Amino acid sequence: MTVVKANFPPYGREYPGHKATGRFSDGKISVDFIASALGVKEMLPPYLNKSLTLEDLKTGVSFASAGSGYNNATCKTSSTMTIERQLQLFAEYKKKVGTIPERALFIVCSGSNDIVEHFTLADSMSSPEYADMMAARAISLVERLIGEGARQIALTGAPPVGCVPSQRRMAGGVKTQCATDRNQLALMFNRKLSLEVAKLAGRFRGVNIFYVDLYSILGDVVQRYKDLGFVNDKDSCCGYVGFAVGPLCNIGSRLCPDPSQYVFWDSYHPTEKAYKLMIDEFIRRYMRYIH
């Protein structure tokens, strides 16, 4: 059983009803804002929520597993679901709901944990080899989703992982700058992934697939944090010196008085305000690709 959980306070302090739902933030996260912007629902529930109705299922769910990645070694470290297991759950979901609407949007977002894993637990791969492996796993996942009936897919690149509080503390030097090696690997992966997405689009003519440049979206928030109304882009609102996520961000942890002044809620994940700004930019850039 995984310890990578967020179903306890202070997670969810800004969420409706101040409820900790497992979202790694103080409130709503990216997929909630996307679902709302598309007019589908205000919050996207997890598929494994046993209280979901058939209507809940038909209007969209999340198969995400916190702490997981494209690399199964990442999932093993945090005892989270592999992408193969998430695909099994999707096949199970299909049996429950019947046909998948052609306009359904599939969002594939992973890779950050893999990048952290590569630098935290030494492996035998060079960074270029690791980026190639991640991209191959991502494309394999998308191909299998297409085989399962997905016809509209947004595949995100990795964000500037080196700029999250934990990686600044681990590898950002005395000034806790963004960790260059993490960001370089993210960019390697992104370049490979964007090229492969273009190839996929050529192979599957009936599928609307597009690449989302998450690196520049979050990177812009980090670079312009003062202009966007934040006062802190380096530290997490919850926890001590940048090392707090899951059980380490708890009711006894140091907590900033106003999460909306921080880009990051815990040592890895943005605040609700930062997520909202990121999705506003996502909608501005990519809404025209969504049919």
Rounded CA gap, 75 and 79, in Å?
Answer: 6
Fold of the domain spanning 29-289? Rossmann fold (3.40.50)
Quick one: which of 277, 289, 271 has its CA closest to 11? 271
Quick one: which of 156, 100, 93, 123 has its CA closest to 285? 156
Q: For residue 188, name the pLDDT band (cuts at 50, 70, 90).
A: very high
The whole-number average pLDDT for the span 48-57 is 94
Rounded CA gap, 272 and 149, in Å?
Answer: 32
Please state, for a pLDDT cut of 90, what percent of the chain lies above it.
75
225-to-2, 173, 220 alpha-carbon distances in Å: 33, 21, 8
Q: Please tell me the least confidently modeled range out of 105-114, 121-130, 197-206, 257-266.
A: 121-130
Q: For the range 247-252, what are the long-range contacts, defined as Cβ-Cβ under 8 Å and sequence gap of 24 or more?
A: 247/3, 247/5, 249/6, 249/10, 249/11, 250/8, 250/9, 250/10, 251/8, 251/9, 251/10
pLDDT value at 3 more than 60: no
Q: What is the pLDDT of residue 159?
A: 98
pLDDT value at 207 more than 70: yes
pLDDT value at 214 more than 80: yes
Global pTM reads 0.94
The whole-number average pLDDT for the span 3-9 is 72
97-to-32, 102, 105, 141, 147 alpha-carbon distances in Å: 21, 14, 15, 21, 17
CA 255 to chain centre: 23
pLDDT value at 242 more than 70: no
Q: What is the pLDDT of residue 212?
A: 98
- pLDDT, one tens digit per residue, over 128-154 is 999 999 999 999 999 999 999 999 999
Cβ contact 60:44 at 8 Å: yes
Residue whose tokens read 């429950």 = 96
More confident residue, 243 or 25: 25
The whole-number average pLDDT for the span 270-288 is 98
Q: Please tell me the least confidently modeled range out of 45-54, 223-232, 242-251.
A: 242-251
Residues contacting residue 174 through CB under 8 Å, at least 6 positions apart? none
The whole-number average pLDDT for the span 85-106 is 92
- pLDDT, one tens digit per residue, over 71-80 is 988 888 777 8
Q: What is the pLDDT of residue 73?
A: 84
pLDDT value at 84 more than 70: yes
Neighbours of 200 (CB within 10 A): 18
Please state, for a pLDDT cut of 70, what percent of the chain lies above it.
95
User: What is the sign, positive or negative, of the torsion defined by CA atoms of 49, 114, 213, 154?
Assistant: negative
pLDDT value at 52 more than 80: yes
